[in-house]
Amino acid sequence: MRFIGGLPSWLIVTAVVTCTLFVAYLVFKAMREGREISFWPPRIGPRSVNRPEPHETTSLGATSSSNIMQDNTSSLTQKEHSSELDVAQIDPNLPDKSYSHLWGRENQIRSVMGVLRDPNGPRLTAITGLGGIGKTALAREIVARCQQEQLYGQISWQTAKEEIFEGGIITRSADLPVSMASLLSNLFADFGIQDDKSEGTRIAELRRILASRPSLIVIDNLETVPDFKHAITALSQIAGPISRIILTSRPQLMQYDSIYSLPLDGLLETDAISLIRDEAAHKGLGSIDRASDKDLRDIYQATGGAPLAIRLVVGQMRHLPLEVILANLVRPNTQTESMYSFIYRATWKTLSPDARKVLLIMPTFPSTANRSAIQAVSTVPESRIDVALSELVAMSVLDTNDQIAVTKKRYGIHPLTRHFLNTELVHKWA
């Protein structure tokens, strides 16, 4: 047996290999979580933000006019930018993050950030999808990335949410009803526009500010605004060439050429399981920490990777067996019924009779179905089936592939939607 420095060679080789594998694991984990890696000095941690010198910063989230001019191409002069960026701020209404880590959305964040950094990109971005799929959380994370990169001199967050689902109950907003007029009034206040002028004058002043001060406006849950399609037209006219507006909406907005649309689906299995473990750790549920990924797959399959449903299931696991919780998705208890009401009720009320008939028969198909099969089972007339399908896809309750040919075009529903349609709720709401 060979000895090196008094120690057996096999022990030294084992220690070196173990340390190498451990370091490789840490590097791989850090890369997956988007952390900063430095080999000298040795460091693995959150990405640091290169902040400007104190004399270059106006206030929280603001960059000097020269930095903003480098990142935002426009016909305005540097002098004009400087005069408009004397007061930069973050909206005090910006909500706290509802998550410790946003699992599975890095590709979507990268896509939207690319649009926001592009000086010639669309002025409006829409994040769309089913209720509870994570639109607000994604928008909030994008705002955080914009703050880190100091892309905007001012950030304004406006919410049109009428309901909040938390802790298994629905809370109604105190600021009902939301209207385009109230949203504009809040925007005027955020940008320091006095209310002693006519609305037309204030809109013109807001347009001037957004054309001279790089700003980001987020409007969460746009679909609750009456005649939200008219609101989209008004917002597209307000947005300046160097400012951007992010919308979250359950209805898809892909029909608007001026909007970059990002439909959001459920998390992939690995990310959903990571979210399950993350939520369990925050709730002190050691049983999930000890469970294998295979044991947690049932939660993923039942919820379809919808973050809201995952959080509800995990929250109930302290006092109910998993089998009972998953059964409650078809035979809803009070909390599950509230979740379904939060996700589907407003959408269900807006659907046409033909669209409702199509949606109700979708659980009869084990996975997806083509147009002919859906038409035959739903009995919606041939002349109206395409309108009904388009309506359901536009409202994010029916999924479709990207095939063009009618024989290859197929439609399906989210697993959570399947559970919902197998309950008695739709008949109660009718």
Sheet containing 369-370: which strands, arranged edge to edge?
369-370, 410-412, 399-400
- DSSP three-state, residue 92: coil
Residue count (the chain)? 430
- pLDDT bin (cut points 50, 70, 90) of residue 80 is very low
Cβ pair 163, 228 in contact under 8 A = no
- Rounded CA-CA distance 145/139 in Å is 10
The rounded percent of the chain whose pLDDT value lies above 70 is: 82
Q: Up-side HSE of residue 51: CA atoms within 13 Å toward CB?
A: 11
Q: What is the signed CA dihedral for 106, 111, 116, 117, rounded to 10 degrees?
A: 90
Confidence of residue 66 (pLDDT cuts 50, 70, 90): very low
Q: What pLDDT was estimated at residue 1? A: 56
Poorest-confidence range of 34-38, 105-109, 274-278, 364-368?
34-38
Lowest-pLDDT choice from 67-76, 197-206, 369-378: 67-76
- Structure tokens belonging to residue 6: 């008094």
Indicate the range of 38-42, 131-135, 243-247, 258-262 predicted with least confidence.
Answer: 38-42
Question: Which pLDDT band, with edges at 50, 70 and 90, does 289 fall under?
Answer: confident
- Which pLDDT value is given to residue 6? 65
Domains of the chain in sequence order: 3-45 (no CATH), 60-263 (3.40.50.300), 346-429 (1.10.10.10)
For residue 372, the number of C-alpha atoms closer than 13 Å in the C-beta half-sphere is: 4
173-191 b/e with 16+ CB inside 10 Å = b?
eeeeebebeebbebbbebb
231/126 Cα distance (integer angstroms) = 13
pLDDT tens digits along 185-228: 999 999 999 988 898 999 999 999 999 999 999 999 999 888 88
387's tokens? 């309108």
pLDDT in tens, 154-167: 999 998 888 888 87
- In the structure, what pLDDT confidence band is assigned to residue 257 with cuts at 50, 70 and 90? confident
Residue 244 backbone phi and psi in degrees, to 5: -135, 155
Evaluate if residue 320 carries a pLDDT over 70.
yes
Say whether pLDDT at 64 is over 70: no
Point out the least confidently predicted range of 59-73, 132-146, 238-252, 287-301.
Answer: 59-73
Provide the pLDDT confidence category of residue 8 given band limits of 50, 70 and 90. confident
Residue 31 has what pLDDT?
Answer: 61
Q: How confident is the model over 260-282, as a mean pLDDT?
A: 95
Over residues 94-123, mean pLDDT: 93
**Coil, strand or helix at 212:** helix
From CA 399, how far away is CA 401, in angstroms rounded? 7
Q: What is the pLDDT of residue 412?
A: 97
Q: Give the range among 113-117, 179-183, 360-364 with minimum mean pLDDT.
A: 179-183
Orientation angle between helical segments 180-190 and 228-238, nearest 10 degrees: 30
Q: 142-151, 162-171, 246-255: which range is least confident on average?
A: 162-171
Q: How confident is the model at residue 74 (pLDDT cuts 50, 70, 90)?
A: very low
Residue 87 — very low, low, confident or very high, per pLDDT cuts 50/70/90? very low
Per-residue tokens: 1? 């047996």
Spatial distance between the Cα atoms of 146 and 140, rounded to a whole number of angstroms: 10
- Lowest-pLDDT choice from 3-12, 143-152, 315-324, 361-370: 3-12
The mean-pLDDT minimum among 118-127, 158-167, 252-261 falls in 158-167
Compute the CA torsion angle 51, 52, 54, 55 (nearest 10 deg): -170
How far is residue 413 from each of residues 338, 342, 367, 392, measured CA to CA in Å?
Answer: 20, 18, 8, 10
Supply the DSSP string of 141-187, one letter for each residue: HHHHHHHHHT--SEEEEEE--SEEEETTEEEE-SSPSP-HHHHHHHH
Kindly report the pTM of this predicted structure: 0.77
Nearest Cα residue to 190 out of 156, 219, 221: 156
What average pLDDT does range 395-406 have in this prediction?
90
Rounded to an integer, the average pLDDT of 244-271 is 94
pLDDT at 287 over 80: yes
Overall average pLDDT of the 386-414 stretch: 93
Contact residues for 69 (Cβ-Cβ < 8 A; gap 6+) = 78, 81
d(CA 209, CA 189): 13
Average pLDDT over residues 47-60: 36
Cα–Cα dist 126/121, whole Å:
13
